[in-house]
Amino acid sequence: MRLKDKVAIITGAGSGIGKASALIFAKEGASVVVADINEEMGKETTDEILASGGKAIFIKTDISVETDIINMVKTAVESFGKLNILFNVAGYPQKPTMIEDLSNEVYDRVMAVNVKGVWMSCKYAVAELRKTKGVIINVASVGGLRPRPGTTAYGPSKGAVISMTKACAVEFAPDVRVNVINPGPVNTPMLPKFLDVFNEDILKEIKDGTALGELVQPEDIAYAGVFLASDEALKITGAELNVDSGLYIGRSKN
């Protein structure tokens, strides 16, 4: 129960990393605000937490919409009395697209969710987090450190989250700790959305590109989040944690 009596907002909690995080945070004792744009999937996550004896509510949230963010924070505090953790997981993918072919609409959507959505979540949650000496954990990507061709929207959006994390860490100190997790290739329904073709050969190629030769699992990110949210990480702020099977450092020679 490393998060006993904590209240956590987790965005994108209807599936993938967000869902795994919501379930594990609840198991670790947190009351969880399940925030997701997909009502059906968000309610499924909430029901799973409640069925296991945990505490959770669902709030339908599009993090690119300011009023949704304001309502998310307001409802969290009204429901549970406080806010200790903001875990910004929700994100928007980009299929490999050369810059000449990338539409303004796709670019704007990637930036609206991945950058502005995280920024607004921090903006409207920080006042409540200051009251509890709370924590913000952002999810960026190794793609923000080492972008690939065809990711001129997604890569820079995640690079912005990494930089934003450090700016917030300085600005919010000493009251609120702010850190960022950089996942590598994660075994979620979103993974195929980054690719033109997805099959066993492509999957093997992705795994072979990592030092550990494996996909990251959603639970790997969730447990990293638990650590950063817990009192075990009280002296960690402005830090990047790569949870990427060694994608950033490159494949093993074996």
- pLDDT tens-digit map of 2-20: 999 999 999 999 999 999 9
Residue of 107, 124, 154, 223 marked catalytic: 154
pLDDT band at 253 (very low <50, low <70, confident <90, very high): low
Find out whether 181 and 241 touch, Cβ atoms under 8 Å: yes
Instruction: State yes or no: is 92 an active-site residue.
Output: no
> Phi first, then psi: what are they for 16, rounded to 5°?
60, -135
> What distance in Å separates the CA atoms of residue 102 and residue 183, rounded to the nearest whole number?
24
- 199 DSSP assignment: S
Please report, for the chain, the start and end positions of each structural domain, with discontinuous segments joined by +: 7-243
User: Would you state the pLDDT for residue 222?
Assistant: 98
> What distance in Å separates the CA atoms of residue 23 and residue 46, rounded to the nearest whole number?
9
Find out whether 45 and 38 touch, Cβ atoms under 8 Å: no
Which of 110, 105, 117 is CA-nearest to residue 66? 117
> What distance in Å separates the CA atoms of residue 16 and residue 14, rounded to the nearest whole number?
7
User: Would you state the pLDDT for residue 193?
Assistant: 78
CATH of domain 7-243: 3.40.50.720
Beta bridge partners of 35: 11, 59
Sequence-ordered alpha helix ranges (H) in 59-215: 66-80, 104-111, 118-132, 154-172, 200-208
Find out whether 14 and 35 touch, Cβ atoms under 8 Å: no
Stated pTM of the model: 0.95
Give the pLDDT confidence of 132-187 residue by residue, as tens digits.
999 999 999 999 999 889 999 999 999 999 999 999 999 999 999 999 999 999 99
> What distance in Å separates the CA atoms of residue 132 and residue 153, rounded to the nearest whole number?
35
Mean pLDDT of 189-210: 83
